[in-house]
């Protein structure tokens, strides 16, 4: 018989959606068998833990004793022990609330997976079988022979071997039923997508409630919140929120899982140095930043905060600090250890590379008097706003990279103010976009104090630093303040290094009027070196 069949892949190609693949991916993410074992672990932990402070710790211990869920390692090891032991308060009511949210999260995950799988098994698969059978039946009916006896039609039914082969008719019939199957696939995909989106929204809500109760979403054997799919959902939802005006409450809502991850890293960094992200956490971070992309990072950083106050201001700051620290964790290879097998790591780096490329990208490819230049500078400033909110230091190599990029971009953007003759400007001076991002990137680089100290000991670097004209030198002053103070093994606090301070002051004296802010930018634009001069004065005392 002529070719009449079509596969699931062919149906998905015709429908331009992939319901079978979506179902397989979601079922693998939830893994109902794993979920049952995880629920058992938490039920046992809830019965054995003395208070909420021991719940995740005991769940971790039980999972470790069993070698992980479904043979996988589900915890980060001893590195997380101090965190899981203290992540919750010991209030009995909170113990009940945390246990309830964890159970609800697991229940909604397994229920949604069942609904999604049922849409395939009880609707789409049967409908596909019906279309294939109908296509065959129609072809058989239309290729059967017939004759008339006494005005009545008599059908001649052929055997398979004897049936006429009509490729044109077969193609027509196949296309007809393939389109019907594709319509069903579109319907199923829409239904499955809505179910999964509802699940992710509810899971995010549960996660935020748990975070409010002090539960670390990235600890313990329950990894629902750290899947790459949840990261993609959070970042896509955050981008959509930005296009709708950037409601601070919703920005905070979608960035909360990343904020929880950052909180744990920051807490460890202050006491025991950087904590390496688990594979799950690292891939969550990769997916989040890759999905948010360069434009999304800039848009989040540029959400206006001037008119916000109270809870709204705090929500925006929390979302920006979560993402800013996410960028810095990516730039710290002791925290986000490079993994050649991580599928989205390269894309995550690609999202931040436009803002960290020396002498490359739109700021160097476009003339300083062009709209494209000004548009990119606005984005660069937004990225700088995120870095300003961060508290996690980048590693040495990336801190140096940030510092030199800040100097390069500051020099480049000052060229907006350097025409041969002012009358030949192609735009009015008030169309200039001020560079507020470079000083913030420099301050971010200074989070790594050892790197800042090393750079400030370099005469070539300090000479470049003071040759620049800064719209706001607050970040420059922060960088110097951090770098001139070094660790003293005999003391808990860092102490002023006289040699580094002297090198800074010598470079400042050599720069002369530049430190005061003189130059074309001061004449035609805005320069504020107040914070820088105040710091230099304090070093001279």
Calpha distance 212→209 (Å, rounded): 5
Low-confidence winner among 12-26, 240-254, 324-338, 504-518 (lowest mean pLDDT): 504-518
Confidence of residue 55 (pLDDT cuts 50, 70, 90): low
The yes-or-no verdict on residue 294 having pLDDT over 50 is yes
Mean pLDDT within 485-513: 89
Per the prediction, the chain carries an average pLDDT of 86
Confidence of residue 488 (pLDDT cuts 50, 70, 90): confident
Selected residue with higher pLDDT from 311 and 161: 311
Range 182-185 contact pairs with CB under 8 angstroms and sequence separation of 24 or more: 182/11, 182/14, 182/15, 183/15, 184/123, 184/124, 184/127, 184/128, 184/131, 185/11, 185/12, 185/14, 185/15, 185/17, 185/19, 185/124
DSSP code, position 121: I
pLDDT at 343: 94
pLDDT at 474: 95
Mean pLDDT within 467-490: 92
pLDDT at 41: 78
Selected residue with higher pLDDT from 428 and 182: 182
Calpha distance 37→74 (Å, rounded): 12
What pTM was estimated for this model as a whole? 0.87
pLDDT at 275: 83
pLDDT at 79: 47
End-to-end CA separation in angstroms for the chain:
96
Calculate what percentage of the chain has a pLDDT beyond 70: 86
147 bridge partner residues: 154
pLDDT at 67: 56
pLDDT at 254: 96
Task: Find out whether 207 and 258 touch, Cβ atoms under 8 Å.
Answer: no
Calpha distance 485→495 (Å, rounded): 5
Mean pLDDT within 27-52: 76
pLDDT at 92: 58
Calpha distance 293→350 (Å, rounded): 8
pLDDT at 512: 86
Confidence of residue 128 (pLDDT cuts 50, 70, 90): very high
pLDDT in tens, 398-423: 999 999 999 999 999 988 877 654 44
pLDDT at 70: 44
Calpha distance 302→307 (Å, rounded): 13
pLDDT at 270: 61
Instruction: Report residue 82 CA to chain centroid gap.
Output: 26
Confidence of residue 478 (pLDDT cuts 50, 70, 90): very high
The yes-or-no verdict on residue 269 having pLDDT over 80 is no
Query: Which pair of structure tokens corresponds to residue 25?
Result: 């991916």
CB proximity list for 441: less than 8 A, separation 6 or greater: 355, 383, 384, 387, 402, 403, 405, 406, 409, 475
Selected residue with higher pLDDT from 488 and 100: 100
Calpha distance 27→43 (Å, rounded): 23
pLDDT in tens, 355-393: 998 788 889 998 888 889 999 999 999 999 999 999 999
Task: Find out whether 58 and 49 touch, Cβ atoms under 8 Å.
Answer: yes
Selected residue with higher pLDDT from 221 and 102: 102
Query: Which pair of structure tokens corresponds to residue 6?
Result: 């079509």
Residue 246 in 3-state DSSP? coil
Task: Find out whether 213 and 91 touch, Cβ atoms under 8 Å.
Answer: no
């Amino acid at each position: 018989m002529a070719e009449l069949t079509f596969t699931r892949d062919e149906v998905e190609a015709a429908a331009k959606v992939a319901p079978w693949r979506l179902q397989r991916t979601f079922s693998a993410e939830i893994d109902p068998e794993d979920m049952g074992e995880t629920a058992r672990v938490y039920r046992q932990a809830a019965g054995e833990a003395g208070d909420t402070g021991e719940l995740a710790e005991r769940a971790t211990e039980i999972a470790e004793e069993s070698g992980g869920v479904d043979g996988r390692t589900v915890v980060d090891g001893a590195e997380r022990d101090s965190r899981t032991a203290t992540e919750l308060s010991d209030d009995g009511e909170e113990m009940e609330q945390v246990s309830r949210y964890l159970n609800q999260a697991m229940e909604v995950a397994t229920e949604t997976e069942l609904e999604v799988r049922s849409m395939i098994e009880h609707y789409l698969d049967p409908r596909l079988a019906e279309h294939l059978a109908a296509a065959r039946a129609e072809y058989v009916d239309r290729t059967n022979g017939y004759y008339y006896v006494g005005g009545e039609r008599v059908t001649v039914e052929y055997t398979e071997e004897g049936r006429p082969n009509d490729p044109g008719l077969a193609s027509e019939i196949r296309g007809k039923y393939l389109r019907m199957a594709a319509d069903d696939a579109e319907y199923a995909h829409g239904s499955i997508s809505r179910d999964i989106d509802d699940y992710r929204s509810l899971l995010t809500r549960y996660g935020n409630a748990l975070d409010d109760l002090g539960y670390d979403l990235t600890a313990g054997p329950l990894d629902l919140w750290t899947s790459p799919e949840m990261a993609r959902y959070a970042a896509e939802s955050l981008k959509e929120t930005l296009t709708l005006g950037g409601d601070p409450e919703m920005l905070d809502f979608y960035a909360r899982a990343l904020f929880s991850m950052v909180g744990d890293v920051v807490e460890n960094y202050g006491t025991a140095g950087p904590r390496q992200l688990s594979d799950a956490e690292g891939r969550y971070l990769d997916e989040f930043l890759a999905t948010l992309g360069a434009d999304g990072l800039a848009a989040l950083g540029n959400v206006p905060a001037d008119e916000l106050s109270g809870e709204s201001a705090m929500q925006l700051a929390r979302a920006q600090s979560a993402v800013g620290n996410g960028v810095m964790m990516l730039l710290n290879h002791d925290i986000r250890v490079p993994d050649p097998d991580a599928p989205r790591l390269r894309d995550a780096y690609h999202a931040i590379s436009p803002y960290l490329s020396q002498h490359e990208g739109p700021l160097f490819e476009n003339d300083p008097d062009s709209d494209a230049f000004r548009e990119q500078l606005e984005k660069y400033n937004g990225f700088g706003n995120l870095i300003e909110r961060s508290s996690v230091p980048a590693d040495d190599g990336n801190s140096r990279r940030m510092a030199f990029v800040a100097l390069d971009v500051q020099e480049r953007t000052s060229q907006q103010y350097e025409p041969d003759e002012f009358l030949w400007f192609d735009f009015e001076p008030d169309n200039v976009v001020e560079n507020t991002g470079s000083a913030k990137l420099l301050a971010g680089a200074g989070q790594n104090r050892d790197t800042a100290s090393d750079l400030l000991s370099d005469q070539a670097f300090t000479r470049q630093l003071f040759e620049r004209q800064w719209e706001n030198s607050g970040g420059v002053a922060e960088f110097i303040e951090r770098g001139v103070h070094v660790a003293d093994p005999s003391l808990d606090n860092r102490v002023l290094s006289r040699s580094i301070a002297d090198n800074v002051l010598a470079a400042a004296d050599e720069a002369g009027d530049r430190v005061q802010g003189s130059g074309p930018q001061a004449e035609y634009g805005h320069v504020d070196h107040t914070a820088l001069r105040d710091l230099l004065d304090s070093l001279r005392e």
